[in-house]
A = this chain, B = another copy of it.
Amino acid sequence: MKKGERRKLELLKIAYRLFISKGYENTSVDEIIEEAGIAKGTYYYYFESKEQMLEDVIEMMIDTEVETARLVLGAPIPVEQKIVGIISSIRPTQEESPIEGLLMKPENALMHKKTKQKIIEKLVPLLTEVVEEGISRGVFDCENIPERVRFLLILSSETFDESLFGENDITVFIDMMEKLLGAKAGTMGFVRMLIASENNDEKEK
């Protein structure tokens, strides 16, 4: 690893920490370089702009999550479960996650948005593969898979990341998922249990 690479990574890590603890908007370039002990010029030698840096930081953040999703892809489980596994990797197991929660803060709206977009972008090909597998097994039946899968990801992220969803939302989501993928009614019904139990865990706190 070259020296330049190391420096860039160092800056990325500092920024990551600062962005998360104080929000992107509230972190100035000056703070970052002060903490790193470098000059303004050096910073701009590595990043063409602050926003570009945010993009890089996000890339770092989501790599782990996408990795998890990729594991699911290869696992020896039914396609229906793979779907759910991958979809829920958007929403990391609540509490622990440093990312979730802090992204919810209003001052991180931009980060939040960009993160979601990037994750979806990376998850679409994975989910597409799963759906194709499902089709070949006769579980699903549809065309324009990437688009359908993207809709699914958008909906799940928009619906479930604020914790303001009810029974009916789940019902409709399942119904829509089945119809979108051309599955037989009831195929995805098991999802209800999963979501419901997770949701209860959260409410108990």
Interface residue ranges, A against B (CB under 8 Å) = 51, 106-107, 109-110, 112-113, 144, 146-148, 151, 154-155, 158-159, 168-169, 171-173, 176, 179-180
Contact = CB atoms under 8 A, between A and B. Distances in A.
Nearest to A170: B147
The 5 tightest CB contacts between A and B, nearest first, are A109-B110, A179-B179, A109-B109, A147-B172, A144-B168
Contact of A180 (B112, B169, B179): B179
A151 B147 contact: no
Counted per complex, copies of this chain come to 2
Contacts of A155: 151, 154-155
A181 to B, nearest CB: 11
B158 A154 contact: yes
Contacts of A154: 154-155, 158-159
Nearest to A117: B162
Nearest to A166: B147
A176 B172 CA distance: 12
Contacts of A159: 151, 154
Q: Which of A107, A110, A147, A159 has the most CB of B within 10 A?
A: A147
A146 B109 CA distance: 26
Nearest to A116: B158
Contacts of A171: 144, 147
Contacts of A169: 147
A198 to B, nearest CB: 19
